[in-house]
Amino acid sequence: MTQERWDAVDDYVARMLLEEDPVLEEVLRVSAEAGLPPIALSPPQAKFLYLLARVHHARSILELGTLAGYSTIWLARALPADGRLVTLEINPDYAAVAAANTHRAGVAGPIQIKIQPALDGLRELIAENAGPFDLIFIDADKEGTPDYFRHALSLSRPGTVIVTDNVVRAGGLADPDTEDARARGMQRFHELLAAEPRVSATTIQTVGSKGYDGFTLALVER
Ligand SMILES: C[S@@+](CC[C@H](N)C(=O)[O-])C[C@H]1O[C@@H](n2cnc3c(N)ncnc32)[C@H](O)[C@@H]1O
C-alpha cells in the first residue's frame, strides 16, 4: 500500500461523498498562497468531524490549532444558529488568514479566534468559566497535547466529546524507543487517558492523503 493509493482513495471519497465546495477550495488556495503549511485536515477527515459534531448536536465547540480555519469552518457549519466556537491559534499571521477565511465562508459570527498559546487560552477560558464545551478538537502542537487534554477536561461536562488528531504518528505511538518528541507527547497523552477514570477513549489508526496517522475519540463520562 502506497501514499499514491491512499491519495487516490481520498480523492474518490471526496468526489463521491463531498459536495463541490468552491468556498473551501478558495480557503485552501488562499492558505497556500499565504505560505501556510498544508497540514489542515483532509476533506474526508474534516467532514467526519463535521458529522460527529452534528451527531452529537454540539452547540459549543472548542478548537486548539486554527491554522487557516479549514477545520474551523467545517465545525462552524455543524453548529445550530445559537452555537458558538472558540478556536486558539498561536500564530497571528495564521489567525489573520483564518479570520478572513471564516468571513469568506460566511460563518464568522459564532467564531472567536483567540490568538495566544493554547495553554494560556485554556487557562483564560477556565478562569472565565467559559465552559463547558460539547465538543473539543485538539489539533495544536503535538508535544503539548497531554497538557491541553488535562485543561480541556476542566472545560468539559459529562457527555463532552474530545477529539485529538495526529496521535499515531506513523506508528511512533507504539514505539517505546522513539525519540520523536511528538510521538512521546502522544504516548504521555495515552498514559493520561489510561489513568483517567472520568473518560472512556479509543484511538483509530488512519491512512489517507495525510499519510499514516490516527485520532483519539474520548467521551467524558463524569
Ligand atoms: C495541524 S495545524 C491545525 C490545522 C487545523 N485544525 C485544520 O485542520 O484546518 C496546527 C496549528 O496549531 C498551531 N499551534 C502550534 N502550537 C500552538 C500552541 N502552542 N498554541 C496554539 N496553537 C498552536 C499552529 O500554528 C498551527 O496553525
What pLDDT does residue 104 have? 97
Average confidence (pLDDT) over 74-86:
98
Pocket of ligand 1 (CB under 6 A): 39-41, 65-67, 70-71, 88-91, 94, 117-118, 139-141, 144
Percent of the chain residues past pLDDT 90, beyond the cut: 100
What atom in ligand 1 is closest to the CA of residue 140?
A: 12
- Ligand 1 mean position to 75 CA, how many Å? 15
Give the tens place of pLDDT for each residue, 3-24: 999 999 999 999 999 999 999 9
Give the residue whose CA is nearest to atom 4 of ligand 1. 40
Q: How many CB atoms within 10 Å of residue 40?
A: 24
Among 16, 4, 83, which residue's Cα sits nearest to residue 43? 16
**Residue 125, C-alpha cell as written in the block:** 477560558
- Counting ligand 1 atoms within 8 A of each CB, the residue from 39, 88, 163 with the most, and so the one to mutate, is 39
Say whether 125 sits in a helix, a strand or coil: helix
What atom in ligand 1 is closest to the CA of residue 144?
A: 19
- Ligand 1 mean position to 139 CA, how many Å? 6
Average confidence (pLDDT) over 65-78:
98
- Counting ligand 1 atoms within 8 A of each CB, the residue from 66, 88, 186 with the most, and so the one to mutate, is 66
Q: How many residues does the chain have?
A: 222
Say whether 172 sits in a helix, a strand or coil: helix
Rounded to an integer, what distance in angstroms lies between the CA atom of residue 117 and that of residue 88?
A: 7
Residues 149, 138 contacting (CB under 8 angstroms): yes
Residues in Cβ contact with 173 at an 8 Å cutoff, skipping those fewer than 6 apart: 167, 183, 186, 187, 190, 203, 214
- Counting ligand 1 atoms within 8 A of each CB, the residue from 90, 93, 122, 147 with the most, and so the one to mutate, is 90
- Ligand 1 mean position to 158 CA, how many Å? 26
- Ligand 1 mean position to 42 CA, how many Å? 15
Give the residue whose CA is nearest to atom 14 of ligand 1. 140
pLDDT band at 1 (very low <50, low <70, confident <90, very high): confident
Give the tens place of pLDDT for each residue, 37-70: 999 999 999 999 999 999 999 999 999 999 999 9
Q: Does the model's pTM come out above 0.95?
A: yes
